Amino acid sequence: MLALGAVAVLAAANLIATHAFPRPYPRIFYSLLVVLAAGTLVPALELKRLAAMGVLAGGALAFAPAAAALALSGGFVFLAFSLWREPPEQWRRLPKLLTALFAPSLAEVLVFVGIVFSLTQYLLLPVLGGIAATCAAIVVTSVSFGIYHLTHAAPWNSWRTVGILIIVWLFVGLFYALTANLWATTILNTLLATIGFVRNRVTRPEEQPLAASLLFDVAGIFAVAALSLRV
């Protein structure tokens, strides 16, 4: 129940931040409330507990160079293939966009892969066996992530977007199932999320000051390392 509570905290924080306050508000506010507090600090604490219980895969929060290289190479290939027809000004967005999206991607992976995937796999393993439990965990994770976007503001809260994200996150879940590493999965998720934001001309997270984006990235990494890596 505590694990599911961490998922509910993120969804509630996102719903409040995107619907209860007048728009536009500074993105830094969203990053503080949703990304850092609800999406990183709360799940990091829960992941520490799940790791101690044996629910979280061993080494999931240790940096794995091979898995990270696989995520980077595969993600960049898919990024280039998806955006090669985009005009030059969209390509110029990429450095700031990648920086702005790493911290939110980390939060999403911590909650929906670290908690939802791990808990689903752990609970179903005795009933279904290894392969079936892992497949079920991938499906539950992707569906949960897609439905979570109904708490966002437009244009990200449409059922069409939910359907697309469910499909995309089937691959994210599969990547984690193969690598068992949350950092590499975060790298892949950041690159995939960047494609969506480049193609979307309305939401521009890179408008957050670069220094602030870097600060949130470092804070997220440090928070997870400080709270979870000692398990």
pLDDT attached to residue 105 = 97
Mean per-residue pLDDT, 203-225: 89
The type of residue at 120 is: T
pTM of the model: 0.93
Q: Answer for the pair 3, 46: CB distance below 8 angstroms, yes or no.
A: yes
Q: What is the pLDDT of residues 30-57, one digit of tens each?
A: 888 899 999 999 998 889 888 888 888 8
pLDDT attached to residue 167 = 95
Mean per-residue pLDDT, 162-180: 95
pLDDT attached to residue 229 = 53
pLDDT attached to residue 90 = 82
Q: What is the pLDDT of residues 85-143, one digit of tens each?
A: 888 888 888 999 999 999 999 999 999 999 999 999 999 999 998 899 999 999 999 99
pLDDT attached to residue 23 = 67
Count of beta carbons in the 10 Å neighbourhood of residue 143: 17
Mean pLDDT taken over the chain: 88
pLDDT attached to residue 230 = 55
Domain spans of the chain?
A: 2-228
Tokens 């520490």 belong to which residue? 48
Pseudo-torsion of CA 171, 174, 180, 185, nearest 10°? 0
Q: Distance between CA atoms of 120 and 226, rounded to whole angstroms?
A: 25
Q: Distance between CA atoms of 38 and 94, rounded to whole angstroms?
A: 26
